Amino acid sequence: MNIAILNIKGEDTGRKAKLNDKVFKVEPNDHAIYLDVKQYLANQRQGTHKSKERAEITGSTRKVKRQKGTGTARMGSVKSPLLRGGGRAFGPQPRDYGFKLNKKVKALARKSALSYKVQDKDLTIVENFSLDQPKTKSYLDILNSLSVSDKKTLMVLPEADKNVVLSGRNLGKAKVALASDINTYDVLNADKLILCEGSIEKIENILN
């Protein structure tokens, strides 16, 4: 499968990038995508929530009222979960929400996400580029030239480029990532996926 390569001014360079069908043209597996996105979001959770149980509440252990003869239920401690200010029964405790997912399932999910972008014509390939200095306006000019400045974009670089990353991070709808770090969630969350020419080979090596 071949896709035209554009320059950062949005002009066709006359060259085409050859995409591996085993990565960019697979039958999408929605369940693999679901599991991979679920794991990604679970890993973002801090899991530091905590409420005090009755053993952790500061308060008297004196018996609130006599055991019998009151006509109401027996009550032993002011720290009971039944009373206001008492400990919480079965409250949240610190935990790790992460779970294991096989590498092949994660790879299939990323292939499926990339294939969806190709199917929906939401994939753009640009020549490798760099910026002389970190400048948001320069990055915005590139998005304007590609007619995607009003959409959520994911720009994938083959190598770390500090100037490009710093130029794009102040834009709310723009995200810059390395080819080695892309994940299913970011690919699907972007309206437009922009691959730098050099990142294609790296992605195919990782997923193939």
Query: What is the average pLDDT across 110-116?
Result: 96
Could you write out the DSSP letters of every residue in the chain? -EEEEE-TTS-EEEEEEEPPHHHHSS---HHHHHHHHHHHHHHH---------GGGS----S-SS-SSSSSS-----TTSTTSTTSPPTT------------HHHHHHHHHHHHHHHHHTT-EEEE-----SS--HHHHHHHHHHTT-TTS-EEEEESS--HHHHHHHTT-TTEEEEETTT--HHHHHH-SEEEEEHHHHHHHHHHH-
Are 152 and 167 contained in the same domain? yes
Are 107 and 199 contained in the same domain? yes
Q: Convert the pLDDT of each residue in 34-80 to its tens digit.
A: 999 999 999 999 999 999 999 999 988 899 999 999 999 999 899 99
What pLDDT is stored for residue 180 in this prediction?
92
CATH number at residue 180: 3.40.1370.10
Are 199 and 159 contained in the same domain? yes
Q: Convert the pLDDT of each residue in 81-90 to its tens digit.
A: 999 999 999 9
Are 70 and 161 contained in the same domain? no
Are 68 and 170 contained in the same domain? no
Are 55 and 113 contained in the same domain? no
Output the six-digit token pair for 53. Answer: 């149980």
Are 105 and 182 contained in the same domain? yes
The pTM of this model reads 0.84
Answer yes or no: is pLDDT of 29 > 90.
yes
Q: Convert the pLDDT of each residue in 168-202 to its tens digit.
A: 999 989 999 999 999 999 999 999 999 999 999 99
Q: Among 33, 59, 91, give the residue marking a domain's end.
A: 91
Are 23 and 61 contained in the same domain? no
Split into its structural domains, the chain has a count of: 2
Answer yes or no: is pLDDT of 108 > 90.
yes
Q: Among 91, 119, 151, give the residue marking a domain's end.
A: 91
Are 86 and 102 contained in the same domain? no
Q: Among 32, 61, 91, give the residue marking a domain's end.
A: 91
Answer yes or no: is pLDDT of 118 > 90.
yes
Average pLDDT for the chain: 93
What pLDDT is stored for residue 10 in this prediction?
87
Give residue 208's pLDDT band: very low, low, confident or very high (50, 70, 90).
confident
Query: What is the average pLDDT across 98-103?
Result: 95
Are 150 and 103 contained in the same domain? yes
What pLDDT is stored for residue 60 in this prediction?
87
Are 70 and 165 contained in the same domain? no
Give residue 101's pLDDT band: very low, low, confident or very high (50, 70, 90).
very high
Are 182 and 166 contained in the same domain? yes
Domain containing residue 71: 51-91
Give residue 31's pLDDT band: very low, low, confident or very high (50, 70, 90).
very high
